[in-house]
A and B are shown apart, each in its own frame.
Chain A
Amino acid sequence: MLVVTIFSGLIVFGMAFALFYKAWPILSTHPIGELLLSSSWRPTRGEFGLYPFIMGTLWVTILAMVLATPLCLLTSVYLAEYAPSRVRGIIKPMIDLLAGIPSVVYGMWGVLLVVPLIRDYVAPLVGATTTGYSVLAGGIVLAIMVFPIIISVSEEVIRAVPHEIREASFALGATKWQTVKHVVLRSSFPGIIAATILGFSRAFGETMAVLMVVGNVSKAPSSLFAPAYPLPALIANNYGEMLSVPLYDSALLLSALILLLVVLFFNVMARIVLSKIKKGFAIG
């Protein structure tokens, strides 16, 4: 049992190591600056600038977070503080259901609803023309995909705020909203940030759904209505060609490594914050 357990703990390290090993050929022959900042992606010519893809990922992910965070915050506060327990009992499982929907189904939905909506209604409203396959489409779909994780963690953190300090606030004559605003949210702030970071990390690595709605044009996006080509999509679309061009596989696996490291970093930070919070409430 011990062996298996240790093995499980080392999975992440194993993967990082394997990817690094495979990415080494390209890392050793191209300066890292060029790999990350060059916009020229021409594998047959040996040019592997990952900049457009990194930007694509950032645009879509950040948009998703901008859309999701306020909605999730408001919803978690509502569920934790205001909703009657019957309502909460119905809504929470529904939100968890969102988490179970496979990403290709989200992608399909995006293609069926979001893309045409953007092409035919939203873009004309601001005078832009677009095929609909855009950063905006990716952002919207991604935002919905991260709702469950942000809401469930935030809600838990908010509910964990000790009863005594809420009582203290009420005893001074504060209204419910004042208590929530000044005491509860203040207290749960680190936890909510951690929840958001977890959401960000999930959005960052999401592949299929985004791939299907985002256009996959290898140019860094210039507007919300422009297409993008996020890193996961790059890997997914080109694995077939990996072996045909020298260093192509290295480049793609380097992208995978970048994904892994970024997600790792954010996840570790968020988890450490959350575990400190759990300990804090256990003592206090």
Chain B
Amino acid sequence: MNDVFKPRVIIQKLNVFYEGRHVLKDVTVNIPENQITAIIGPSGCGKTTLLKSLNRLVDLADGVRFSGKVLVDGANIFDNGTDITEIRKRMGLISQTPNPLPMSIYDNVAYGPRIHGTKNKEELNQIVKQCLQAAGLWNEVKNRLGEPASKLSIGQQQRLCLARALAVKPEVLLCDEPTSALDPVSAEHIETQLATLKKDYTIVFVTHILRQAKRIADYVIFLYLGEVIEQGKAETFFTKPKDPRTQAYIEGKSITRTEV
């Protein structure tokens, strides 16, 4: 457990507008390296938007405007000249509902490396195996890699999406409520994998399940109505929150009654 906080991603005054609606307001946070950061908050408060800003998937929506900076290794990902596909390669994303590509299990994992130029069969085989192992899926599918991914159970599909994301060797893993569509057993699987993966990756996940955040997060960010209300190390966050709104949220009370 390292106490040294080295920021992997620095977000400075990020503002995102969807067709006039101000979804993220002056968000300024640092995401620590090789730790699991949880973004918590009530639904609709911009958590997914924040996550999708980090890999610029937010660009795909209509009528989006943004201002501010997101710095990775000193470079702003929103700069005009940046190669978006490179950024997305470095930021892996796992969505809320598993979205396997319409291909075989093998091809799903190999898709990423292939589009970035890896052609060698041996290399691809290696990558597929390693990633499926890292996702905790290898043993269940090693004999049926050619089967369509759609045949897997939903929990397995999500682990496949994890493997797929790992295959492009990202530095940061972004997870949007990765277990909310899963049964408890599969959910636990994913949580265990994430906990193991943090040694090699920086993980950011969005959740509305406080217990999940308490279980695996090292660092927590509380987002409410598009603003960062509080952020801090997990231990102190849940035991001694500074803001009354955070306190209210953690206790499950309605926030509006405790305006500062």
Partners in one complex: yes
Contact with A along B61-100 (1 / 0, CB 8 A): 0000000000000000000000001111100110101011
* Most B Cβ at <10 Å: residue of A170, A172, A178, A284: A172
Contact with B along A170-200 (1 / 0, CB 8 A): 1111110010001100110000000000000
A17 to B9, CA, bound (A): 74
* Most A Cβ at <10 Å: residue of B57, B89, B99: B99
A173 to B89, CA, bound (A): 5
Chain A 137-193 interface residues, beta-carbon cutoff 8 Å to B: 164-165, 167-175, 178, 182-183, 186-187
A186 to B150, CA, bound (A): 15
Partner of B93, one of A171, A175, A183, A187: A171
When distances are taken between beta carbons in the complex, the residues of chain B under 8 Å from A173 are 85-89, 112, 115-116, 168
Contact A172 B165 (CB under 8 A): yes
Contact A170 B115 (CB under 8 A): no
Query: Given A172-B165, A187-B102, A167–B111 Cβ distance below 8 Å?
Result: no
Interface residues on A, range: 10 to 19
A175 to B100, CA, bound (A): 18
A186 to B103, CA, bound (A): 9
CB of B101 closer than 8 Å to a CB of A: yes
CB of B245 closer than 8 Å to a CB of A: no
A20 to B164, CA, bound (A): 58
Partner of B85, one of A164, A174, A183: A174
Closest chain-B Cβ to A22's Cβ sits at a distance in Å of 48
When distances are taken between beta carbons in the complex, the residues of chain A under 8 Å from B116 are 173
* Most A Cβ at <10 Å: residue of B85, B87, B93, B102: B102
Contact B101 A183 (CB under 8 A): yes
Q: List 29 A-B contacts (CB under 8 A).
A: A164-B95, A164-B97, A167-B60, A167-B95, A168-B95, A168-B100, A168-B101, A168-B161, A169-B101, A169-B111, A170-B60, A170-B88, A171-B57, A171-B88, A171-B93, A171-B165, A172-B88, A172-B89, A172-B92, A172-B168, A173-B86, A173-B88, A173-B112, A173-B168, A174-B85, A175-B85, A178-B115, A182-B111, A284-B150
Binding site for B on A (CB under 8 A): 164-165, 167-175, 178, 182-183, 186-187, 284
What are the 10 closest A-B residue pairs judged by CB atoms, nearest first?
Answer: A173-B89, A171-B93, A173-B88, A164-B99, A172-B112, A173-B85, A168-B99, A174-B115, A178-B115, A187-B102
Question: Besides the contacts A168-B164, A172-B92, A174-B85, what 18 more A-B pairs have beta carbons closer than 8 Å?
Answer: A165-B99, A165-B100, A165-B101, A165-B102, A169-B101, A170-B57, A170-B60, A171-B57, A171-B92, A171-B93, A171-B95, A172-B88, A172-B89, A173-B86, A173-B89, A173-B115, A173-B168, A284-B150
